[in-house]
Structure 1
Amino acid sequence: MSRFDLRPYQQEFLSAVRRDFREHDHILGVAATGAGKTILASDLMRGWNGNCLFLADAQELVRQNADKYFGYAGEFAGIEMADSKALLGDRVVVATTQSICRRLDKWPRDYFGLVIVDEAHRNTLGAMAAQVLLHFESAKVLGVTATPFRSDRRQLGSFYEKISVEIGLARLIKEGWLSRIVIKSVPLPVDLSQVRTTAGDYNEGDLGDVIMPHLRQAARLIAEHATGRRTVAFLPLIATSQAFVKACREEGLRAVHVDGNDREGLRAYERGEYDLVSNASLLTTGWDHPQTDCVFILRPTKSLSLFQQMVGRGTRIAEGKENLLLLDPLFLSDDHSLIRPARLIARSEEETTELSERLSGGGEVDLLEAEEEVEEVRQSRLEERLVKAARRKARTIDAIEFCLSLKAVELADYEPELPWEGKPPSDRQLITLAKAGFDTDCVSCRGHASKILDLLFMRREHGLATPKQLSWLRKFHYPEPELATFEEAQLFLDEHFNRKAM
Structure 2
Amino acid sequence: MQSREMKGMANLSHEVQEKKTDKELYSYQKGAIDQVFEKFDSAPDDYHLLYQLPTGGGKTVIFSELVRQYLKNHNKKVLVMTHRVELCNQTSKMLTSFGVVNKVVNSTANLEDQDEYVCFVAMVETLNNRLNDDMLDISDVGLVIIDEAHYNSFNKLFKFFNNSFILGVTATPLSSNKNLPMKDNYDELIAGESIGSLIENEFLAKAEVFQYDMGLTSLEVGSNGDYTVKSSEDLYSSPAMLEKLLDAYKKHSKGKKTLIFNNGINTSIHVYHTFDAAGIPVRHLDNTATKKQRKEILNWFKETPDAVLTSVSILTTGFDEPTIDTIILNRATKSLTLYYQMIGRGSRILNNKSTFKVIDLGNNYYRFGPWGADLDWQTIFNNPNFYMDRLQDDDDIEANFRHEMSEEVRAEFPKSKEVYFDIKATYISATSNGESSKVVLERSIAQHAYICIENSEDVYDALGLAKLLAEDINNRIQTYAKCISRSTFNFLHWLKDDYKKKLNAYLRANFDTVFEDIHGYPPED
> Shorter-normalised TM-score: what interval?
0.5 to 0.7
1:62 paired residue among 71, 84, 88 = 88
1:111 paired residue among 128, 131, 140 = 140
1:20 paired residue among 19, 39, 50 = 39
Is structure 2 residue 339 aligned with structure 1 residue 307? yes
Cα gap change, 1:309/1:85 in structure 2, threshold over 3 Å: closer, same or farther? farther
Q: Indicate the residue corresponding to 2:275 in structure 1.
A: 248
Cα gap change, 1:209/1:37 in structure 2, threshold over 3 Å: closer, same or farther? same
Is structure 2 residue 204 aligned with structure 1 residue 172? no
CA distance in 2, matches of 1:360, 1:173: 30
Q: Indicate the residue corresponding to 2:168 in structure 1.
A: 143
CA distance in 2, matches of 1:9, 1:361: 43
Q: Indicate the residue corresponding to 1:37 in structure 2.
A: 59
CA distance in 2, matches of 1:74, 1:94: 11
Is the Cα contact below 8 Å between 2:144 and 2:166 reproduced in 1? yes
Q: Indicate the residue corresponding to 1:133 in structure 2.
A: 158
CA distance in 2, matches of 1:287, 1:150: 21
CA distance in 2, matches of 1:158, 1:85: 35
CA distance in 1, matches of 2:32, 2:52: 9
CA distance in 2, matches of 1:326, 1:70: 35
Is the Cα contact below 8 Å between 1:66 and 1:94 reproduced in 2? yes
Cα gap change, 1:285/1:242 in structure 2, threshold over 3 Å: closer, same or farther? same
Q: Indicate the residue corresponding to 2:360 in structure 1.
A: 328
SS in 2 for 1:113: strand
- Which deviates more from structure 2 when the two are superposed, residues 140-149 or residues 169-178? 140-149
Q: Indicate the residue corresponding to 2:208 in structure 1.
A: 182
**For residue 192 of structure 2, what is the amino acid of its counterpart?**
E
The two structures, once aligned, show a CA RMSD in angstroms of 3.7
Is structure 2 residue 27 aligned with structure 1 residue 8? yes
Is the Cα contact below 8 Å between 2:219 and 2:228 reproduced in 1? no
Deviation (angstroms), 1:74: 5.1
CA distance in 1, matches of 2:24, 2:401: 39
SS in 2 for 1:19: helix
Cα gap change, 1:71/1:273 in structure 2, threshold over 3 Å: closer, same or farther? same
Deviation (angstroms), 1:22: 0.8
**For residue 247 of structure 1, what is the amino acid of its counterpart?**
T
**For residue 160 of structure 2, what is the amino acid of its counterpart?**
H
Is the Cα contact below 8 Å between 2:212 and 2:360 reproduced in 1? yes
Cα gap change, 1:318/1:310 in structure 2, threshold over 3 Å: closer, same or farther? same
**For residue 143 of structure 1, what is the amino acid of its counterpart?**
G
Q: TM-score, normalised by structure 2?
A: 0.58
Deviation (angstroms), 1:220: 1.0
Deviations 1:162-215 (A, max 9, x none): 3344222222112110001122112444x3544352545433344223210011
Q: Indicate the residue corresponding to 2:77 in structure 1.
A: 51
CA distance in 2, matches of 1:254, 1:237: 21
Is the Cα contact below 8 Å between 1:149 and 1:346 reproduced in 2? no
Is the Cα contact below 8 Å between 1:148 and 1:346 reproduced in 2? no
**For residue 31 of structure 2, what is the amino acid of its counterpart?**
E
SS in 2 for 1:29: strand
SS in 2 for 1:22: helix
Is the Cα contact below 8 Å between 1:78 and 1:85 reproduced in 2? no
SS in 2 for 1:101: helix
Cα gap change, 1:101/1:273 in structure 2, threshold over 3 Å: closer, same or farther? closer
CA distance in 2, matches of 1:156, 1:245: 38
Deviation (angstroms), 1:291: 2.0
CA distance in 1, matches of 2:175, 2:84: 24
SS in 1 for 2:38: helix
CA distance in 1, matches of 2:402, 2:333: 22
Q: Indicate the residue corresponding to 1:121 in structure 2.
A: 150
Deviation (angstroms), 1:137: 1.6
**For residue 290 of structure 1, what is the amino acid of its counterpart?**
P
SS in 2 for 1:181: strand
1:203 paired residue among 206, 228, 239 = 228
CA distance in 2, matches of 1:196, 1:351: 17
CA distance in 1, matches of 2:226, 2:97: 34
For structure 1, the 5+ residue unaligned runs are 363-502
SS in 1 for 2:269: helix
Deviations 1:12-67 (A, max 9, x none): 11111111111113222111111111111211112223211112233442233223
Deviation (angstroms), 1:341: 4.5
1:232-311 alignment to 2 at 5 Å? 232-259=259-286, 260-261=289-290, 262-263=293-294, 264-311=296-343
1:227 paired residue among 254, 257, 274 = 254
Cα gap change, 1:188/1:352 in structure 2, threshold over 3 Å: closer, same or farther? closer
Q: Indicate the residue corresponding to 1:481 in structure 2.
A: none
Cα gap change, 1:174/1:236 in structure 2, threshold over 3 Å: closer, same or farther? same
**For residue 79 of structure 1, what is the amino acid of its counterpart?**
V
1:396-435 alignment to 2 at 5 Å? none
- In the alignment of these two chains, the number of paired residues is 351
CA distance in 1, matches of 2:268, 2:66: 39
SS in 2 for 1:44: helix
CA distance in 2, matches of 1:332, 1:316: 21
Cα gap change, 1:195/1:274 in structure 2, threshold over 3 Å: closer, same or farther? same
Cα gap change, 1:6/1:323 in structure 2, threshold over 3 Å: closer, same or farther? same
SS in 2 for 1:93: strand
Is the Cα contact below 8 Å between 1:346 and 1:352 reproduced in 2? no
Deviation (angstroms), 1:329: 1.3
**For residue 27 of structure 1, what is the amino acid of its counterpart?**
L
Cα gap change, 1:332/1:286 in structure 2, threshold over 3 Å: closer, same or farther? closer
**For residue 45 of structure 1, what is the amino acid of its counterpart?**
V
Q: Indicate the residue corresponding to 1:455 in structure 2.
A: none
- Which deviates more from structure 2 when the two are superposed, residues 339-348 or residues 316-325? 339-348
SS in 2 for 1:121: coil
Is the Cα contact below 8 Å between 1:148 and 1:344 reproduced in 2? no
Q: Indicate the residue corresponding to 2:125 in structure 1.
A: 98
Cα gap change, 1:218/1:188 in structure 2, threshold over 3 Å: closer, same or farther? farther
Q: Indicate the residue corresponding to 1:79 in structure 2.
A: 105
SS in 2 for 1:197: coil
CA distance in 2, matches of 1:346, 1:114: 29
Larger Rg belongs to = 2
Is the Cα contact below 8 Å between 2:21 and 2:97 reproduced in 1? no
Q: Indicate the residue corresponding to 2:494 in structure 1.
A: none
Cα gap change, 1:361/1:116 in structure 2, threshold over 3 Å: closer, same or farther? farther
Deviation (angstroms), 1:311: 1.4
SS in 2 for 1:227: coil
Is the Cα contact below 8 Å between 1:168 and 1:345 reproduced in 2? yes
Deviation (angstroms), 1:155: 4.1
Q: Indicate the residue corresponding to 2:415 in structure 1.
A: none
Cα gap change, 1:146/1:207 in structure 2, threshold over 3 Å: closer, same or farther? same
